[in-house]
Structure 1
Amino acid sequence: MNGMNWPATERHCLTPAPGGLALVQELLNTAPAARPAAEGLPDLLADGALDGAQEWVDLAVRGWAVETGRPDVHLVLADDDLPQLRCLRDQVRRALAAGDQGSGAAVRFTSAPVVVGLAGDGTLTVEPEGAGARWLASAVLAEGLLAQTSGVWRRLKVCRNLSCAAAFYDRSRNNSGVWHSVRGCGNAAHLRACRERRRVQD
């Protein structure tokens, strides 16, 4: 992982989302994934993987600090933080899926404290609070709220290939992307659909 700003996202060969929204994308991309013609990607937040999770969070929080112009924060994760982070990851994933499908279904988020500050130039800032998983939840939810306010939240998506489910930032003009990789997951889906049509016709 050394030398990477967003290790979970970069292992999918994806470009990070702009600004602090990249932290939300990064959390989503810690999930395990199957990859065609390659070994699967492990869950970076799996139970028993505390050392790897700590290495990941160190890099992710440093990347967030650089992107948002904030001082670096050193989080120390404990074993009981890992299931909390997986729960948050799943909730954010379900929220994005619900929004993408236009269902409007309510998704209950983990609550997390934030501090709203007023800077000397009159701008408002939202700062994460807490420690460990609670701080990360605070930062992720705050960045999600800011992204909703600026209108870019809807561009953060989860690949429609269920075995992949990589989180990607849709940079298409009309925000129509559904695959994290058109060549990979998109082509595989089209091939499956074509085979299914031929099977039905035979």
Structure 2
Amino acid sequence: MNWPATERLGLTPAPGGLALVQDLLNTAPADRPDSVDLLADGALDRAQGWADPAVRGWGAGTGRGDVRLTLSADDLPKLRCLRDQVRRALAAGDCGGEAVRFTSAPVVVGLAGDGTLTLEPEGAGARWLASAVLAEGLLAQASGTWRRLKICRNTACSAAFYDRSRNNSGVWHSVRGCGNAAHLRACRERRRGHAGAESGAEESGVTV
């Protein structure tokens, strides 16, 4: 399991290094009894258990080989902050949100022998992970895949998913699950509104 946070939700990982961004976002707890925050304070072992396969998966998927990362207790609130900032940016979409500067996430630009430019994360712990996540976000924007990484519109879910629809129109991580639930809620609200209108009309003697 390379992407434990995403796969625990039954989702398909995003392509390439963008899957690391998605997996960080999905460390947040979903609104269900068996869901926990993988980056919660006091749960360093759980956080490290998430980071180990995720970072190795990123290394393998981007051709960097066996990458290792060690987290400390001090890294956890920093990673939750990063997660929330990226999540808010994705949820805002084209509407835009508050601009954020990441001055403690260093990235080194490399030049390969064939002339290819690369972005290499630097630092340790949360700094390294922030560097890797932001570098992958920048690369995804350049390739056009960033706009397909989305937050499920169902606020009780808020899973990060990769929209593979042809016209990039998906808003639910699962149309059958979150999509149907939203449609049912909307139908119930319309019925309640219609029932309220009929009740008010009867009291006033008006036929609806």
- TM bin, normalised by shorter chain, reads over 0.9
**TM-score with structure 1 length normalisation?**
0.94
CA–CA separation in structure 2 for the residues paired with 1:28 and 1:167: 6
Partner of 1:176: 169
Match of 1:108 in 2: 100
SS in 1 for 2:109: strand
In the alignment, is residue 26 of structure 1 matched against residue 23 of structure 2?
yes
**Is 1:192 aligned to residue 189 of structure 2?**
no
Q: Given that residues 89 and 96 in structure 2 are in contact (C-alpha distance below 8 angstroms), is that contact kept between their aligned partners in structure 1? A: no
For residue 15 of structure 1, the aligned residue among 5, 12, 15 is 12
Runs (4+) off by over 6 Å: none
Question: May I ask how many residue pairs the two structures share in their alignment?
Answer: 194
Q: Partner amino acid for 2:98? A: A
Q: 1:134 corresponds to which residue?
A: 127
Residue ranges of structure 2 left out of the alignment (5+ in a row): 196-208
Instruction: Determine what percentage of the aligned residue pairs are the same residue.
Output: 79
CA distance, structure 1, for counterparts of residue 126 and residue 115 of structure 2 = 31
Task: Please say if 1:79 is aligned against 2:73.
Answer: yes
Residues 14, 168 of structure 1: 8 Å contact kept: yes
RMSD of equivalent CA atoms:
0.9
Confirm or deny: 8 A CA contact 1:50 1:78 kept in the other structure.
yes
* Structure exhibiting the larger radius of gyration computed from Cα positions: 2
Partner of 1:60: 54
Q: Is the CA contact 2:88–2:97 (under 8 Å) kept in the aligned structure 1?
A: no
Once residues 101 and 133 of structure 2 are traced to their aligned partners in structure 1, the CA distance between those partners, rounded to angstroms, is 11
CA–CA distance in 1 between the matches of 2:96 and 2:67?
A: 35
Aligned partners of 2:107 and 2:122 also within 8 Å: yes
| Cα-to-partner distance string for 1:134-164 (whole Å, 9 max, x where unaligned) | 0000000000000001111000000011111
Question: What runs of 5+ residues in structure 1 fail to find an aligned partner?
Answer: none
Normalised by the length of structure 2, the TM-score is: 0.91
Deviation at 1:32, TM superposition (A): 0.5
Q: Residues 5-43 of structure 1, C-alpha deviation per residue, up to 9 Å, x if partnerless?
A: 1000001100000000000000000000014xxx33100
